[in-house]
Amino acid sequence: MAFFETINPEELHRMRVEIKKINALIIFLHDYSRKKTISDSFKPIKKIFKRAGLTRSAHVNLQFVEKYHLFHEEFKNEQNRNLVYQTGKFCQKRDEYLSLIKEAHKDISGNFRNINSKFILQVFEKQKNQLSWLFAIDNPEKKLHRCRKKIKFLLYLHHMLPKRIAGKLQVDTNYLSQLEESIGKWHDTVSAMELLKIKDYSDKAVLTQLEKQAQRTLHLINTRSSDFLEKVKGKK
């Protein structure tokens, strides 16, 4: 992993994204073969993912401080200390993590096989219908995290498929990417508001700015997700 050489938080983020892509493939293979051993082989990688997430969270919090020019030295110092601590803990297990990744790769690669294209089409239709239902409920913001995970699953899987099969799926990946990005921005803003409230941050102007931003983004999500099944085909 490049992070061990550079200690660059962005490398850690890229590693987590790649793990998410592999996880999407594992879920797909498990649903197809129904072999529990596939998902079991990936469990150690999930632990690495969660440990990396602790370091990533501290870095995201510091980015948030810089983005909104927050004068909250105590919070900033706390996150700096946490970033150094979590980075050190992660790097201490370098050899163990690399060994686990190699072992998981060996186990998982043995489960790759040809998959019936009909099954792929069924998976995408099922996921699209579930997303349409989630976006249509009265309080979709309560389900947005789940929606985002499903969208990422479809995007990651779509990029892995041969063009011949991907072309049959009727999936507008640009539309899905825009929708996923909007949900991500909304989630980051809401998380920032909650974090500041926990830390008793008193600058009402900043909190008001974040609240308005969250509302605007949620309105955009609602607009983009209306008529989801038609828009995801690229017809609207």
Indicate if the pLDDT at residue 143 is higher than 60: yes
For the segment 121-133, what is each residue's pLDDT rounded down to a tens digit? 888 999 999 999 9
User: Is the pLDDT higher at 156 or at 68?
Assistant: 156
pLDDT score of 138 more than 60:
yes
Lowest-confidence segment of 49-58, 86-95, 109-118 by average pLDDT: 109-118
Contact 1, 14 (CB under 8 A): no
Angle between helices 73-92 and 36-67 (to 10 degrees): 150
Q: Could you tell me the two tokens for 232?
A: 């995801």
- What would the pLDDT profile of 152-180 be if each residue is shown by its tens digit? 999 999 998 888 888 888 899 999 999 99
DSSP 5: H
Q: Region 118-144: what's the mean pLDDT?
A: 87
pLDDT of the residue at 201:
66
State percent of the chain over pLDDT 70. Answer: 89
| Mean model confidence pLDDT for the chain | 84
Instruction: Kindly compute the dihedral angle of the four CA atoms of residues 127, 129, 130, 132, in this order, to the nearest 10 degrees.
Output: 120
Please give the single-letter amino acid code of residue 6: T
Contacts for 131 with CB less than 8 Å, ≥ 6 apart: 147, 150, 151, 228, 232
The pLDDT, as a whole number, for residue 202 is: 63
Distance in angstroms between the alpha carbons of the first and the last residue of the chain? 41
DSSP string, 44-78: HHHHHHHHHHHHHHHHHHHHHHHHTT---HHHHHH
Of how many residues is the chain composed?
A: 236
* Across 98-115, average pLDDT: 77
Q: Is the pLDDT of residue 183 over 90?
A: yes
CA neighbor of 131 nearest in space, from 172, 164, 168: 172
Residue 102 has pLDDT above 80, yes or no: yes
Q: What is the pLDDT of residue 205?
A: 78
For 34-52, write each residue's pLDDT tens digit: 655 566 777 888 888 888 8
Encoding tokens for residue 123? 């998976």
In this prediction, residue 140 carries a pLDDT of 65
